[in-house]
């Protein structure tokens, strides 16, 4: 029984690297040109029960010398159109005919006998939307269409093992796995022999049957792969004049050898060619819905530079989890919303290291402008930021982060932090602005997870310390001396009676206005240039370790996370290259974190809160009164006076008592 032989369409499979290379060629070389771009694809024998072997296209497809062992080469061209409308009106018939005429020319010249890969070509027409990195494409592997259909006279699943072994030996030894067709002779007891189709191949009688082998990409029983179609046209109509052909369709096992059970014999008959010698072509690929139409590849996550930058940013963090730290939760710090109070030397360094950990959300707060002395020390600024009076530091730093990493969610807020000792007259415009600044800072701290205190004065850290504790945020202070530094995490309410101290807990004096009566060297942050980078790195690494701890910011001192210990504070000395890990509990009379300060700020009476803050700004010593430090120091002074009186009483008979006195200086700091 004869019936039309059905051929399985050769599916296309352009991979990501193919589109990346095509986008690069479009942008840098071809631009608006729509001239065909030569390229090559490859396919192989089917090795899967339910999946055909596709025509693969990679970045190497644009290197016309690319060949692979055990893969059949197919030449073609890419037509890269400039608009989607051009894609819709593209002359598909003309493109297919142009390709089949090149095949016909190889048949008429006999070139295809020495190089049978010339019997099949492909055309890929494409529109690249490089804004969205979506590629619309349609692939055609044109086949000559005969006036009457090619007929199947029989089909046998499974072939002789001897035939497969003979083909296996010839395919790998003689052709290096690159020949799509060859002639198979002999059989039965005489054994099988293989030879190329250009060795002999003269026309025969109508009843002569030629036996050929074919590397079959099809997975469907009874339907050979699409490349066989032009080969049969060559044998039966185009050159050899044969009318009947026996085809061995070879398919692979999983190990890459031809499978006797999966391969099949096809008995094929082709009607004689009519008087009309016009060649027509078919072969445009069906889309995913089964209809004739283009496909699309949305590669925004792979090819869009912002997406690629985002993926590249996360790559090192993901690689950490491969071997070094499989349990590392990189999303903890990458997802942390970080508020940087200060966009100077420390702020710039901290922001860059946070980006290294994959952190996207970074907000700068600073009231200053970029000065000419800044760019050499503050890595996010450049010379142009200093011109015309200088750009706002917070804004310039945020924009710089976005230039470095376009996917950064960076924001700059120009804001002055209200400070004790910086007086504001009640009821004045300055007073109203100051209260607005308090509200703005409170809102910013509430909206973030980690607060970095990176300002260059002691008093500017007071309000952020109070607000961070009240809003239960992880706060980290970084402070610099000339060749010393301090990195400290503030304790949090969740630690209860074991709460660690804050930046002010080791002081017994309220923060005063430190900006008055300063010489030039005191007005600038005079430190060794490498100190800020060291301290900033330790601050970010301390935060990254804390965020891996089950208790986060409430972790006890010197407990451990997957990244190591999480100390309360780190004090460094650059002159001796030493570091100390120190810890101190919260001080009950602390001017920054004691319960009395929190209660005074947290009052529901807005007038009382305003009155408290106003008095603090105008009379910083009021903090000592509220916390009991004034009474504590009074009692301490009384005790010292009593001890001195006792010493004088005991020494009356001994003449003059030594002692020198000297001014008391209660205003000491951690640094």
Q: Is 204 buried (19+), middle (13-18) or exposed (0-12) by CB count in 10 A?
A: middle
Evaluated on CA atoms 71, 75, 81, 85, the torsion sign reads negative
Are 317 and 334 in contact by the 8 Å Cβ rule? The answer is: yes
Residues 6+ apart with CB under 8 A from 88: none
Q: Contact 42/74 with Cβ under 8 angstroms?
A: yes
Helices 345-356, 393-404: inter-axial angle, 10-degree rounding = 30
Q: What is the pairing mode between strands 338-341 and 361-366?
A: parallel
Identify which of 104, 101, 81 has the alpha carbon closest to the alpha carbon of residue 91.
81
Q: Which element (helix H / strand E) includes 114? A: helix 111-114
Give me the phi and psi of 32, to 5 degrees please.
Answer: -90, 0
Question: What is the C-alpha to C-alpha distance for residues 654 and 642, in angstroms, rounded to an integer?
Answer: 19
- The token duo for 610 is 């305003």
Closest to 439 in 3D by CA, of 421, 411, 413, 472: 413
Task: Please report, for residues 329, 489, 532, 554, 561, the alpha-carbon distance to residue 550 in angstroms, rounded to integers and kept in the order given.
Answer: 11, 16, 29, 9, 8
Q: Are 413 and 429 in contact (CB under 8 A)?
A: no
Residue 606 bears catalytic tag: no
Lookup result for tokens 């020198």: 660
CB 547 within 8 A of CB 336: yes
Annotated catalytic residue, options 126, 140, 502, 524: 524
Q: Give 644's DSSP letter.
A: H
Six token digits for residue 501: 């101290």
Q: What is the DSSP letter of 60?
A: G
Per-residue tokens: 152: 């199947």
Sheet architecture: strand order including 409-414 = 409-414, 361-366, 338-341, 450-453, 474-480, 484-489, 569-573, 578-582
First to last CA, the chain: 99
| Integer Rg of the chain from CA | 40
Identify the bridge partners of residue 134 per DSSP, sorted by sequence position.
129, 298
Q: What are phi and psi of 540, to 5 degrees?
A: -70, -40
C-alpha span between 205 and 473 (Å, rounded)? 92
Instruction: Provide the annotated active-site residues.
Output: 524
């Amino acid at each position: 029984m004869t019936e039309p032989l059905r051929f399985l369409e050769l599916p296309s499979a352009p991979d990501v690297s193919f589109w990346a290379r095509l986008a690069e060629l479009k942008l840098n070389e071809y631009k608006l040109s729509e001239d065909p771009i030569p390229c090559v694809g490859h396919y192989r024998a089917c090795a899967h029960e339910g999946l055909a072997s596709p025509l693969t296209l990679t970045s190497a497809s644009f290197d016309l010398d690319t060949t692979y062992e055990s893969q059949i080469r197919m030449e073609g061209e890419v037509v890269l159109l400039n608009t989607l409308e051009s894609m819709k009106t593209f002359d598909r018939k003309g493109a297919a005919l142009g390709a089949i005429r090149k095949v016909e020319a190889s048949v008429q010249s006999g070139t295809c006998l020495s190089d049978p890969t010339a019997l099949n070509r492909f055309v890929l027409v494409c529109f690249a939307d490089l804004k969205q990195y979506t590629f619309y494409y349609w692939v055609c592997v044109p086949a000559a269409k005969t006036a009457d259909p090619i007929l199947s006279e029989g089909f046998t699943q499974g072939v002789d093992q001897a035939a497969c072994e003979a083909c296996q030996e010839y395919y790998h030894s003689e052709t290096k796995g690159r020949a799509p067709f060859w002639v198979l002779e002999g059989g039965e007891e005489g054994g099988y022999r293989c030879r190329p189709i250009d060795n002999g191949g003269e026309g025969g009688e109508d009843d002569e049957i030629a036996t050929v082998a074919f590397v079959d990409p099809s997975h469907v029983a009874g339907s050979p792969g699409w490349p066989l179609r032009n080969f049969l046209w060559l044998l039966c109509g185009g050159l050899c004049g044969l009318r009947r052909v026996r085809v061995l369709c070879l398919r692979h096992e999983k190990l890459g050898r031809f499978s006797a059970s999966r391969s099949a014999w096809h008995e094929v008959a082709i009607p004689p060619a009519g008087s009309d010698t016009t060649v027509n072509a078919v072969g445009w690929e069906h889309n995913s819905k089964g209809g004739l139409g283009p496909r699309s590849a949305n590669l925004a996550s792979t090819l869009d530079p912002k997406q690629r930058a985002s993926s590249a940013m996360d790559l090192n963090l993901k690689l950490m989890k491969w071997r070094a730290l499989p349990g590392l939760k990189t999303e903890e710090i990458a997802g942390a919303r970080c508020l940087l109070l200060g966009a100077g030397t420390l702020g710039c360094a901290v922001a860059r290291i946070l980006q290294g950990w994959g952190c996207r959300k970074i907000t700068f707060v600073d009231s200053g402008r970029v000065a000419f002395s800044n760019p050499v020390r503050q890595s996010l600024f450049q010379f142009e930021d200093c011109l015309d009076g200088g750009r706002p530091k917070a804004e310039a730093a945020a924009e710089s982060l976005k230039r470095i990493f376009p996917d950064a969610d960076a924001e700059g807020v120009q804001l002055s932090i209200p400070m004790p000792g910086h007086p504001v007259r009640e009821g004045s415009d300055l007073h109203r602005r100051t209260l607005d600044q308090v509200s703005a800072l409170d809102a910013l701290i509430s909206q973030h997870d980690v607060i970095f205190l990176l300002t260059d004065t002691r008093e500017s850290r007071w309000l952020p310390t109070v607000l961070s504790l009240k809003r239960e945020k992880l706060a980290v202070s970084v402070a610099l001396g000339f060749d010393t530094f301090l990195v400290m995490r503030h304790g949090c309410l969740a630690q209860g009676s074991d709460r660690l101290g804050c930046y002010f807990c080791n002081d017994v004096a309220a923060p005063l206005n430190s900006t008055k009566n300063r010489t030039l060297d005191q007005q600038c942050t005079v430190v060794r240039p490498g100190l800020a980078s060291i301290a900033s790195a330790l601050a970010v690494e301390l935060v990254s370790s804390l965020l891996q701890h089950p208790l986060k910011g409430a972790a006890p001192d010197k407990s451990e996370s997957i990244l190591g210990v999480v100390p309360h504070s780190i004090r460094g000395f650059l002159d001796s290259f030493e570091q100390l890990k120190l810890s101190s509990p919260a001080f009950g009379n602390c001017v920054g974190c004691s319960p009395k300060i929190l209660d005074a700020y947290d009052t529901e009476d807005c007038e009382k809160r305003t009155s408290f803050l106003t008095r603090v700004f105008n009379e910083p010593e009021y903090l000592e009164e509220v916390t009991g430090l004034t009474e504590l120091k009074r009692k301490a002074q009384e005790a010292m006076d009593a001890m001195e009186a006792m010493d004088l009483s005991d020494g009356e008979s001994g003449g003059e008592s030594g002692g020198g006195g000297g001014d008391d200086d209660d205003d000491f700091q951690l640094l």
